[in-house]
């Protein structure tokens, strides 16, 4: 998709983003003081063997996950300053780091390990462990929450834990309000004949003008259409409409919209797709086919249905595009708040278009479905299915189709036709 986050890491307010390309970049950064220990950088000569090393690593990952940063193996820590670059044996090290981050830290943390090979010693080099700011922080190791001080890890107090959780909750509430604003701006006449799907992905630490240059630039339409097409093809596109339906651009108060219609007075509700890219790097989607009508095989009358594949596919697609846009927002790798709202659901049952009428699931018992969560750029880009399941798992269980679509993966989208 044209966006590469490999090796890009935030070294703090003074140094910003750093993207090492080779061994010499490590040597230069260490010699120039770029890699001195801080809230965002922790130097490690090596990873100890066995349980003690695993426990130390788990604490390091948990502590770094609050704000994000870098664990660097193969560099001597000399009184919190980068000393000699000695390297470590790389075989199996990245796998061990990943297993510890997923199994010994609670909740698990997704990290990225980037080996930088020493050209003079095959099999040796430095391992950069990139710990993004976690959407689920703070994290525990052995029932203790950890954070990062100026140059060392520390245990978090009860008050600090409550404050971190409160901030996360508040960001989710903000996205909930954005979903309702998005519904108010829906171009379809109200009340809607069908249920509509609304999605918002909001980066939490980008400047207000993070995307202005891209949105006003000459490559906007070409790049977004290419990304939408690539994502849809990767996922199979077994639903309609898709993001590729939104090909026309319109200015909005806070950005640019890609729409499926020319004239809002003549738009077709089931084919409505509107994707808005905002100046602050956020992205939103409105789809007019959150529910639809099909002829009942029992009564020959029209019945309202929801297509799980469509809801999953549109949500997955937008999360992927959000991960792509992070590269356009200065390589942003921080936290996001994301949310979904689906209305007009009362007594609407699921349907996948095949010979499963009557045993597909059960009608939904509420008028609306809303779910909010937090995530990171790394998870959006590489663990998209996990984000989609957090957003839509409860809906699928409420419709009685969880056994068909959960645990969710991209292969789940092959369960029904257009």
The CATH number given to whatever domain includes residue 104 is 3.30.950.30
pLDDT value at residue 172: 62
* Percentage above 70 pLDDT, the chain: 90
Is the pLDDT confidence value at 85 over 60? yes
Helix (H) or strand (E) holding 412: none
Q: Can you state the percent helix, strand and coil of the chain, rounding each to 5?
A: 35, 25, 40
pLDDT value at residue 98: 95
Is the pLDDT confidence value at 289 over 50? yes
pLDDT in tens, 359-375: 578 999 999 999 998 88
Q: Return d(Cα 198, Cα 145) in angstroms, integer.
A: 35
Counted domains in the chain: 2
Would 242 be classed as within a structural domain?
Answer: yes
Is the pLDDT confidence value at 251 over 70? yes
**Residue 315: closest CA among 201, 205, 229:** 201
Residue 266: both structure tokens together: 């003549």
Structure-token match 């750093």, residue found: 18
Listed residues 139, 156, 173: the one ending a domain: 156
Q: Kindly state whether residues 122 and 177 are assigned to the same domain.
A: no
pLDDT in tens, 155-181: 999 888 888 777 766 666 688 889 999
Measured torsion, CA atoms of residues 174, 176, 181, 183, in degrees rounded to the nearest 10 = 170
Would 49 be classed as within a structural domain?
Answer: yes
Q: How confident is the model at residue 91 (pLDDT cuts 50, 70, 90)?
A: very high
Q: Kindly state whether residues 118 and 244 are assigned to the same domain.
A: no
- What is the pLDDT averaged over residues 22-33? 89
Is the pLDDT confidence value at 1 over 70? no
For residue 197, the enclosing domain spans: 165-415
DSSP state of 407: S
Helix (H) or strand (E) holding 93: helix 93-103
φ, ψ of residue 214 in degrees (nearest 5):
-70, -45
Q: Kindly state whether residues 221 and 333 are assigned to the same domain.
A: yes
- What is the pLDDT averaged over residues 129-153? 87
pTM over 0.85: no
Q: Kindly state whether residues 200 and 320 are assigned to the same domain.
A: yes
Q: Kindly state whether residues 393 and 363 are assigned to the same domain.
A: yes
Burial of 174 (0-12, 13-18, 19+ CB in 10 A): middle
Would 288 be classed as within a structural domain?
Answer: yes
Contact between residue 310 and residue 280 where contact means Cβ atoms under 8 Å apart:
no
Q: Kindly state whether residues 409 and 298 are assigned to the same domain.
A: yes
Listed residues 102, 129, 156: the one ending a domain: 156
Q: Kindly state whether residues 130 and 187 are assigned to the same domain.
A: no
Is the pLDDT confidence value at 108 over 50? yes
Q: Kindly state whether residues 124 and 174 are assigned to the same domain.
A: no
| 90-104, 124-138, 199-213: which is most confident | 90-104
Q: Kindly state whether residues 215 and 86 are assigned to the same domain.
A: no
DSSP state of 65: T
Q: Return d(Cα 332, Cα 206) in angstroms, integer.
A: 7
Q: Kindly state whether residues 169 and 142 are assigned to the same domain.
A: no
Would 130 be classed as within a structural domain?
Answer: yes
Direct distance between the N- and C-terminal alpha carbons of the chain, in angstroms, rounded to an integer: 24
Q: Return d(Cα 67, Cα 12) in angstroms, integer.
A: 10
pLDDT in tens, 197-248: 999 999 887 788 989 999 999 999 999 999 999 999 999 988 999 999 999 9
Listed residues 156, 191, 210: the one ending a domain: 156
Q: Kindly state whether residues 187 and 146 are assigned to the same domain.
A: no
pLDDT in tens, 296-353: 666 667 889 999 999 999 999 999 999 998 878 767 877 889 999 999 999 999 988 7
Q: What are the strands, taking DSSP E only, across 64-137?
A: 69-73, 75-78, 81-85, 88-89, 112-117, 124-131
Q: Kindly state whether residues 176 and 146 are assigned to the same domain.
A: no
């Amino acid at each position: 998709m044209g966006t590469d986050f490999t090796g890009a890491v935030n070294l703090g307010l003074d140094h910003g983003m750093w993207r090492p390309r080779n061994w010499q970049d490590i040597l230069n950064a260490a010699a120039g003081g770029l890699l001195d220990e801080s809230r965002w950088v922790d130097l490690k000569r090596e990873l100890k063997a066995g349980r003690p090393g695993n426990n130390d690593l788990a604490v390091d990952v948990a502590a770094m996950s609050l704000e994000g940063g870098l664990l660097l193996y193969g560099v001597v820590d000399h009184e919190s300053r980068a000393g000699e670059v000695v390297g470590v044996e790389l075989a199996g090290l990245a796998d061990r780091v990943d297993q510890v981050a997923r199994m010994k830290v609670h909740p698990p943390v997704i990290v990225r390990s980037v080996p930088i090979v020493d050209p003079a010693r095959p099999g040796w080099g430095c391992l950069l462990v990139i710990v993004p700011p976690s959407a689920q922080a703070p994290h525990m190791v052995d029932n203790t929450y950890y954070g990062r001080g100026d140059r060392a890890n520390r245990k978090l107090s009860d008050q600090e834990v409550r404050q971190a959780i409160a901030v996360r909750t508040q960001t989710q509430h903000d996205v909930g309000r954005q979903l309702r604003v998005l519904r108010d701006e829906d171009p379809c006449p109200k009340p809607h004949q069908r249920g509509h799907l609304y999605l918002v992905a909001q980066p939490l630490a980008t400047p207000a003008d993070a995307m202005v240059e891209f949105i006003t630039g000459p490559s906007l339409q070409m790049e977004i259409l290419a990304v939408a097409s690539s994502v849809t093809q990767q996922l199979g596109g077994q639903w309609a409409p898709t993001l590729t339906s939104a090909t026309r651009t319109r200015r909005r108060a806070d950005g640019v919209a890609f729409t499926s219609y020319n004239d809002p007075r003549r738009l077709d509700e089931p084919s409505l797709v509107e994707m808005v890219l905002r100046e602050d790097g956020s992205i939103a989607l409105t789809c007019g086919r959150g529910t639809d009508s099909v002829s009942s095989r029992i009564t020959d009358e029209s019945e309202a249905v929801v297509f799980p594949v469509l809801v999953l596919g549109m949500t997955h697609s937008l999360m992927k595009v959000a991960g792509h846009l992070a590269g356009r927002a200065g390589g942003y790798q921080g936290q996001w708040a994301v949310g979904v709202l689906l209305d007009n659901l009362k007594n609407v049952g699921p349907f996948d278009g095949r010979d499963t009428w009557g045993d597909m699931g059960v009608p939904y018992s509420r008028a609306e479905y809303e779910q909010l969560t937090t995530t990171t750029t790394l998870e959006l880009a590489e663990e998209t299915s996990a984000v989609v399941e957090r957003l839509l798992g409860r809906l699928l269980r409420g419709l009685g189709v969880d056994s068909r679509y959960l645990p969710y993966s991209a292969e789940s989208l092959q369960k029904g036709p257009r």
